[in-house]
Amino acid sequence: MKRFVILLTLLLATAGVVAAAPVGAAERQRCFPETGYCVSGAILRYWEKNGGLPVFGYPISEMRVETVENWSGPVQWFERDRLEDHGSVGVLAGRLGAQILDYQGRSWQSLPRPASIPAGCRFFKETGHTLCGTFQQYWVRNGGLMRFGYPISEPMTETLASGDTIWTGTVQYFERRRMELHPELAGTRYEVLLGLLGRDIYETMSGRCAMPAPFLGPTTRAYPDLLGCPAPSPQIAVPAASQRFERGAMYWVSSRYDRSGDIWVVFYDNSRASLVWQLYADYWREGDPVSGGEQPPQGLVEPIRGFGKLWRENQQLRETLGWAVEPERADTATVQYFQGGAWAVYRAGVDRIYIMRPDNRAEDIQRIR
């Protein structure tokens, strides 16, 4: 029921033009005791005309002048949006879809692009992405390019958290928005809903910490000097795999945008007297050779699939790690990026957390409950 209530409030955020108030008209304002902020002028008229509370949420800041992408002017933040008063141009919504990806440590320009354009889909050469099916219908019916901007990702599976509530489903990022597909609400106006990006980004910009991912809260608070503030939108309970080697370990985490993934390599570096980490893309795909056909020494194991491909093709890494000492094991991971550049990787199978520092040193700690 809690999640359903949240879903019913995540509606359309917009971008458009609002007519100016008549000359000499008294400036009206509306105040919200829920957050302690008031809304007035062109932003209030836009807020009311385009959906109000269900669409934008409550105001979470005062109106103030900000500089946004080489433009400076009046801005006010809401739970689901940032509204910008561009004067004679009108009120526009911010490019929060692109911004939230930056805050998560991933640039939209690096996201995978489609190999072909499916039938019935629209392709945008400006970003190299497609728009299909239910998302395309929603985009067209609710303002299109002006309201959402171009798609900057393909549809992908993500797990999102709000406190203790966890939802896994299909999302697609746009310049101004993140759309979420809810098949359980098919046939209603809530089949496609929009994320709380205004709240997440405003908290980050204000120096406030986003909510840590489930399983990471006590550990995050116990290591403030190592981690700092969590960034919004962690990867939660995603498929993972681990394998121990003679002198280190590999840990694979599935990609949040396609079927590939990332491989974290962790080993002890004598020159730094510290555990260190390196990050590699997983280039192994179904249909590639599973094994290199090598014969390991007695009691050791040849790594296979993505671990094996990386191990065979990177001679320095192979010499550093040695042979595997066990077969790879399936796992589930939660990965959170932090504003200072650190990562926390929770490995559910062993109930431990890798803390990956920005200087490539690593910590392998027991999760604090």
For residue range 295-310, what is the model confidence (pLDDT) as tens digits? Answer: 999 999 999 999 999 9
- 41 and 90 in a single domain? The answer is yes
212 domain residue, yes or no: no
Say how far apart CA 12 and CA 174 lie, in whole Å.
Answer: 13
- Domain span at residue 138 reads 2-205
The pLDDT score that the predictor gives to residue 300 is 97
- 170 and 261 in a single domain? The answer is no
Residues of the chain with pLDDT below 70 are 1-26, 105, 162-165, 207, 256-259
Percent helix, percent strand, percent coil in the chain, to nearest 5 = 25, 35, 40
Nearest to 363 by CA among 298, 276, 263: 276
**Residue that finishes a domain, picked among 153, 176, 205:** 205
**Residue that finishes a domain, picked among 205, 240, 263:** 205
Residue pair 43/91 in contact by the 8 Å Cβ criterion: yes
Say how far apart CA 36 and CA 31 lie, in whole Å.
Answer: 7
CA atoms within 13 A of residue 206's CA, in its CB half-sphere: 13
In angstroms, how far is the first alpha carbon of the chain from the final one? 27
Say how far apart CA 41 and CA 242 lie, in whole Å.
Answer: 56
**Three-class DSSP category at 35:** coil
The pLDDT score that the predictor gives to residue 18 is 42
The amino acid at 336: Q
- 200 and 97 in a single domain? The answer is yes
- 31 and 113 in a single domain? The answer is yes
- 52 and 155 in a single domain? The answer is yes
**Residue that finishes a domain, picked among 157, 175, 205:** 205
The pLDDT score that the predictor gives to residue 1 is 39
- 234 and 197 in a single domain? The answer is no
133 domain residue, yes or no: yes
The pLDDT score that the predictor gives to residue 17 is 40
* Backbone region of residue 207 per phi and psi (left: phi > 0; alpha: psi in -120 to 50; beta: other values): left
211 domain residue, yes or no: no
The pLDDT score that the predictor gives to residue 86 is 93
The pLDDT score that the predictor gives to residue 164 is 56
- 200 and 243 in a single domain? The answer is no
The pLDDT score that the predictor gives to residue 196 is 85
- 143 and 276 in a single domain? The answer is no
- 112 and 147 in a single domain? The answer is yes
Burial track 214-232 (b if 16+ CB lie within 10 A, e otherwise): bbbeebbeebeebbbbbbb
Number of domains comprising the chain: 2
DSSP symbols for 150-213: SB-S--EEEEEEETTEEEEEEEEEBSS-EEEE-GGGTTSTTSEEE--HHHHHHHHHTTPPPPPP
